[in-house]
Amino acid sequence: MTEVVCINLENEMDLVLCHRRSMKLAELCGLSVIHQTSFATAVSEICRCVISRDERRSLLSLGILPAGSRKQLIAKLTTTTDLEKDYQNAIKYARRLADNLRVSYTSKNETQVTITEKINFSGLLNESRIEAFIQYFKKEPPISPYDEIRKKNIQLLEMSERLRESEDKYRNLTETLPVMIFTTTASGYLTYANQSLMEYFNFLEITPGKILWTQLSDITEHKSLYPLWEKAQLTETAVRTEIRLKPKAGGKPIWHLISVIPVKNEAGQLTGWTGIFVDIQAQKLVEETLKNNTELKIAQKQLLTSQEKLEKNLRELSRSNHDLEQFAYIASHDLQEPLRKITNFTELLKMNANDPVAVAKYLDKIDAASIRMSALITDVLDYSRLSKVAAKFEETDLNKIVKSVLTDVELIIDEKKAKVKVDRMPHISAIPQQMHQLFYNLINNALKFNNGAPEIIITCRKLSAAEVKKQPDLHLSVDYTQIDVADNGIGFDQKYATQVFTIFKRLNNKEAFTGTGIGLALCKKIVDNHHGQISVVSSPGQGTTFSLILPVS
């Protein structure tokens, strides 16, 4: 059932309302005048029984009831009077007038009389039309002064209930907040205090109009409060200040932040004040401590600066130690290898000085070893120079950098029939020369370590805040770009993904692929200099993808 209108049955005027509204709803539902009259008369006859008993808890509900593919007009009367027992004649008379009348009993010892009337063309009664009926009766003009007064009383009751709920919510909120809240009259006398204020000042109750809120503070300590309050009363503006409040139960006064705000009605007239006391004792202690210890503040600032420098020096020291380990390895292994070859071939040269063929062979070997040693020394010097970042960072267009690199290696690209695809690259703050060196090594490696026609794809995208958050070495306040350099080359086992960035670490045959093995170590050093990250994903025969994460600024 969808209820359209409801009527409390208390007196004869309510009986008039029942009849008229039953008639009107029947008319809205498209019933003929005869059916309207029959339905309204049947409803009135049953309601008359209740009103004659002076029953104050009876309710008539008029509405629309779905009934299969049709709809029915329904009137439901709920009362504590047993109508079928006490008013049999009225029930019989109503049954002759209505299509269907049924009497039932609820578990609350209430009697329910239901009267229904079939509605022709009920398919036209959709939800929006029924809603229009409901709105009609809400806005229906009163049929008598009594009806008008009754409507106003119902509205007042509803408003009173909402006001009571609002007051309960406000009271519950103020009682749970860890601050002292109070309200006053327009002249400043307390009318309400929450539990926190009552406990702090040891009040059993607040008698409205007896205590000024300013009496909660000690006048000897807060003489400046009263001029502020007087000014606020004259200008009807808020008071905000800091005062010390002494608990009534004893103890030292505690600093509080006070805000007293004017409350005005719709006409803009002052009706009262709302005040809040917030405990700021801890904040005041910190402020006083810092104020009385200027040297401590200076020392704290110096300590923070020293800590930052120390952390920076530790990072630099860690990098230096790593570089020293690398150079120690180079000196003991990589540089020794061509030197041993030169020494061995020199001895063999002496032993075969009279054999022209042997002499030419050993001289070629010595020359090759010398060239390799020179290349190693050159690469070591290049690597060591990167450890000292003396060059200045500047806005760098990576599009121009990559274009320049591709120009440098265009002969190799043409020779190997390579295909290179590059996304639109960003502008970042960087050292241009090092960026050129970085992309040269990555692109050159992609061309070199490939037994077929190389395909190189360089993509670029901005890292999201969530992705940056997952990287502990990145800063949330910095924007980062990720650049991927992917190829279809020979690849390598992923277990060597970290080793490839070690200086002179080679995973491939020296005769098949030339180089000193320092290129990726240089790339790692350049990315570190730019406070970024470099990683690699690879698989034998499936190509390699190097991922660079670089700060934009």
pLDDT at 512: 42
pLDDT tops 80 at residue 114 = yes
DSSP secondary structure code for residue 212 in this structure: B
Q: What residues does each domain of the chain span?
A: 2-140, 177-282, 293-334, 391-551
CB of 245 closer than 8 Å to CB of 260: no
Q: Which two tokens stand for residue 503?
A: 């200086």
Pick the CATH number of 391-551 from 2.30.30.240, 3.30.565.10, 3.30.750.24, 3.40.50.150: 3.30.565.10
Name the phi and psi angles at 32, rounded to 5. Answer: -70, 165
In which element (H, E) is residue 115 found? Answer: strand 111-118
Report which listed range, 71-80, 133-142, 211-220, 507-516, is most confident: 71-80
Name the phi and psi angles at 450, rounded to 5. Answer: -155, 125
- Tens of pLDDT, residue by residue over 490-546, are 888 888 887 787 765 555 544 444 445 677 888 888 888 888 888 899 888 888 999
Type of residue at 359: V
Tell me which residue of 228, 233, 227, 241 sits closest to 262, measured CA to CA.
Answer: 233
The rounded distance, in Å, linking the Cα atoms of 74 and 115 is 6
pLDDT tops 60 at residue 143 = no
pLDDT tops 80 at residue 474 = yes
Tell me which residue of 104, 82, 85, 103 sits closest to 94, measured CA to CA.
Answer: 103
Residues with Cβ within 8 Å of 185's Cβ and at least 6 positions away in sequence, in order, are: 191, 208, 209, 272, 273
Q: Count CA within 13 A, CB hemisphere, residue 394.
A: 8
Type of residue at 87: Y
The rounded distance, in Å, linking the Cα atoms of 497 and 503 is 13
3-state secondary structure string, 72-114?
A: EEEEEEEECCCHHHHCHHHHHHHHHHCCEEEEEECCCCCEEEE
The angle formed by the CA atoms of residues 389, 395 and 397, to the nearest 5 degrees, is 110
pLDDT tops 70 at residue 52 = yes
The rounded distance, in Å, linking the Cα atoms of 359 and 328 is 34
Q: Which two tokens stand for residue 301?
A: 């600032």
pLDDT at 515: 47
The whole-number average pLDDT for the span 64-69 is 77
Local confidence band at 421 (pLDDT 50, 70, 90 cut-offs): very high
Longest dimension (CA), the chain: 149
The rounded distance, in Å, linking the Cα atoms of 40 and 28 is 13
Check residues 217 and 447 and name the one with the higher pLDDT. 447
In which element (H, E) is residue 66 found? Answer: strand 58-67
pLDDT tops 60 at residue 333 = no
Burial 116-132 (b: 16+ CB within 10 A, else e): bbebeebeebeeeebee
The whole-number average pLDDT for the span 388-404 is 81
The rounded distance, in Å, linking the Cα atoms of 375 and 378 is 5
The angle formed by the CA atoms of residues 250, 253 and 258, to the nearest 5 degrees, is 125
Q: In CATH terms, are 177-282 and 391-551 the same topology? A: no
> Would the pTM count as exceeding 0.85?
no
The yes/no answer on whether domain 2-140 falls in CATH 3.90.550.10 is no
Tell me which residue of 465, 434, 436, 442 sits closest to 531, measured CA to CA.
Answer: 434
CA 117 to chain CA centroid, nearest Å: 56
pLDDT at 458: 92
The rounded distance, in Å, linking the Cα atoms of 406 and 514 is 20
In which element (H, E) is residue 193 found? Answer: strand 190-193
In which element (H, E) is residue 114 found? Answer: strand 111-118
CATH fold, domain 177-282, is Beta-Lactamase (3.30.450)
